[in-house]
A = this chain, B = another copy of it.
Amino acid sequence: MVTMPRDYFKDRIEKIKEFYLRNKRMPSYSEAAFLFGFRSKNAAYKLIRKLKELGFIYSDEKGRLLPGTLNNPVKLLGSISAGFPSPAEEELQDTMSLDEYLINNPTSTYLLKVEGDSMIDAGIHPGDLVLVDKSVIPKTGDIVVAQVDSEWTLKYFEKRGGAVYLRPANKKYPLIKPREELIIGGVVIANVRKYK
């Protein structure tokens, strides 16, 4: 029986990953054979069958290859204070896609750039991007996009005894009790800050 070296699969997966990132589609079997350095596309066919069993790849009803966990661009390490594993060691790590992780409802979610410091105590800074889902019904404690005095702002949503209040996360600003009807643009489901 022939046993393959330890990183046999990893190199192959990396090749496909590169192809996928470069071409934005999965290779055909003959293209995969070329990637792997095989002369026969059946060799690729058999190899990929194993990658499928490992979950890196799958295929649709027509046999075309689709990205499995390949798709996920960022590697997952442990948590920071727990003495997480050294970033140096390159294993077959778990990966994830930020898009898929953060966005539940692609059609009802949009992105908003934050200006002003009214939510700074909630860790939402000017310049941050805020993901807003307008299909979510706000509950007390949620951060919402609301229209106050014909201006859109970011506030904590509070419902007490039938009345609705908007609370800024900054002691400098007062609690807001909306005069008339309150227009909600959606609930903040995530906050993203880019440094570089």
Contacts and interface: CB of A to CB of B under 8 A. Distances in A.
A21 B103 CA distance: 13
Given A99-B97, A152-B84, A196-B136, A76 B111 contact: yes
Given A74-B131, A83-B150, A191-B195, 16 more contacts: A23-B60, A24-B67, A73-B106, A74-B103, A75-B109, A77-B112, A80-B113, A81-B116, A81-B152, A84-B152, A87-B110, A98-B192, A123-B193, A189-B195, A190-B192, A192-B193
A104 interface: yes
A131 B114 CA distance: 20
A125 interface: yes
A44 interface: no
A23 to B, nearest CB: 6
- The CB with the most chain B CB atoms within 10 A, among A21, A82, A145, A152, is that of A152
A71 B23 CA distance: 13
B185 A86 contact: yes
A102 interface: yes
B99 A74 contact: yes
Assign chain A's interface to a size class.
35 or more
A112 to B, nearest CB: 5
A14 B86 CA distance: 43
Given A134-B87, A194-B190, A74 B24 contact: no
A116 B84 CA distance: 14
Contacts of A112: 77-80, 84
Q: Which of A60, A120, A123 has the most CB of B within 10 A?
A: A123
Given A74-B103, A80-B145, A103-B74, A195 B186 contact: no
A192 B64 CA distance: 34
A66 B23 contact: yes
In the A-B complex, the 9 residue pairs with the smallest Cβ-Cβ separation, listed nearest first, are A79-B113, A81-B115, A123-B123, A75-B110, A189-B196, A191-B193, A98-B98, A81-B116, A190-B194
